A and B are shown apart, each in its own frame.
Chain A
Amino acid sequence: MAISFDKAFAGHDKMLGFRSARAAILANNIANADTPNYKARDISFDGMLANEQAKLKLSATSQSHLSGGSSATEGGLFYRNPNQPSLDGNTVDMQREQAEFAENSLQFDTSFMFLDRKISGMKKALTGN
């Protein structure tokens, strides 16, 4: 039986990719905290999942079959609903963005730990000690 890294990692490698993409978007919000008319953005895991699922196509065995699967949206990206938009049209809430960034990097560490343990588990299985 061949080792499948995809199965062994159980999606934690993909999760690391998602967490680093989200970190970049949150960093961009914080960078634009003083930019007039900037609208804070974010991505959600549900949005990314729906986006990936939209890419799946139904198999069409007859010409009359519909292809199914809608076109992918903009990478699961959405605009924040501001609590208190400022007069210059900026919707970045600095405290919220900092909290989200901290939470995101903690979740990044969690995914990293899971992935690390998976790898050391595989190593242990291979070396047998």
Chain B
Amino acid sequence: MSISNIFAISGSAMSAQTVRLNTVASNMANVDSVASSADQTYRARKPVFSQMMNDNMKNYGWSNATIDESGAGVGVKVDAIVESDAPLQPRYEPDHPMANEEGYVFYPNVNPMEEMADMMSASRSFQTNVEIMNSAKSMMQKMLTLGQV
């Protein structure tokens, strides 16, 4: 039954969007985390999404996903969380307790505007998947009432 697949599909999308929201929260929390050297500084983290096919759906723990004979993929997964390559912000603050010998402190490459936009996009996508799951639920509940009148 493909309707029960929808729960796994939307569920995987909701968990992927939650990971995305988590990275946004982490980035925003660390927006002012300074360090004395470039390699110790926090870098903005971004999730990489990829399409899930039947076999890795099962490996992912969505055991209720049935074999989809039409061959379309089922759901989405977070492939990796990568750190942004954007340049860090060294600032000349010689009085700062974390300043290095030259008087610089390194600020993370988190862009708060970008993060806020990402947050809105993630929560909208999450909401859409909740709606899809609700529709699937009402379709399934309706199926149970077949021939009851």
The contact size tier of chain B is 35 or more
Nearest Cβ distance between residue B65 and chain A, in whole angstroms?
10
Residues in A1-35 with C-beta less than 8 Å from chain B: 16-17, 20-21, 23-25, 27-28, 30-35
A74 pairs with B71, CB closer than 8 A: yes
Whether B121 pairs with A27 at a CB distance below 8 angstroms is no
A31 and B10 contacting across the interface, CB-CB below 8 Å: yes
Question: Chain B CB within 10 Å — which of A25, A76, A109 has the most?
Answer: A25
Q: Determine the main DSSP class of A at the interface with B.
A: helix
Closest to A19 in B: B139
Do B3 and A112 touch (CB < 8 A)? no
Cross-chain contact B149 with A105 (CB below 8 angstroms): no
B70 lies within 8 A of A76 (CB): yes
Nearest-CB distance from A12 to chain B (Å)? 11
* Cβ contact within 8 Å between A116 and B76: no
Are A75 and B2 within 8 A (Cβ)?
A: no
Total A residues in contact with B, Cβ cutoff 8 Å: 35
Q: Does A36 contact B (CB under 8 A)?
A: yes
Q: How far is the CA of A57 from the CA of B119 in the complex (A)?
A: 55
Whether B146 and A75, one on each chain, are in contact in the complex, defined by CB atoms closer than 8 angstroms, is: no
Q: Is the CB of B75 within 8 A of A28?
A: yes
| A101 cross-chain contacts in B, Cβ below 8 A | 132, 135
Kindly state the separation between the CA atoms of A90 and B9 in the bound complex, as whole angstroms: 18
Q: Which residue of the partner chain A has the closest CB to B122?
A: A34
Tell me which residues across on chain B come within 8 A of A108, comparing CB atoms: 139
**Contact present for B75 and A116 (CB under 8 Å):** no
Contacts of A31 in B (CB 8 A): 9-10, 12-13, 16, 75-76, 129, 132
Asked if A23 contacts B125 (CB within 8 A), the reply is no
Q: Are A38 and B146 in contact (CB under 8 A)?
A: no
Q: In the complex, A21→B12 CA distance in Å?
A: 18
Q: Across the two chains, which residue of chain B brings its CB closest to A43?
A: B70
What chain A residues lie within 8 Å of B143 (beta carbons)?
16, 112
Q: Are B147 and A24 in contact (CB under 8 A)?
A: no
The reply to whether A28 and B125 contact each other, CB–CB distance below 8 Å, is no
Chain A residues contacting B1 (CB-CB under 8 Å) are: 20
Q: Which residues of A contact B (CB under 8 A)?
A: 16-17, 20-21, 23-25, 27-28, 30-36, 38, 41, 43, 74-77, 94, 98, 101, 105, 108-109, 112, 115-116, 119-120, 123
Interface residues of B (CB under 8 A from A): 1-3, 5-6, 9-10, 12-13, 16-17, 20, 48-51, 68-76, 121-122, 125, 128-129, 132, 135-136, 139, 142-143, 146-147, 149
30 contacts between A and B (CB under 8 A): A20-B1, A20-B3, A23-B135, A23-B139, A27-B9, A27-B10, A28-B72, A28-B73, A28-B75, A31-B9, A31-B75, A31-B76, A32-B51, A32-B76, A33-B128, A34-B17, A35-B50, A36-B48, A36-B49, A41-B72, A74-B71, A75-B69, A76-B70, A77-B71, A77-B72, A105-B135, A108-B139, A116-B146, A120-B147, A123-B147
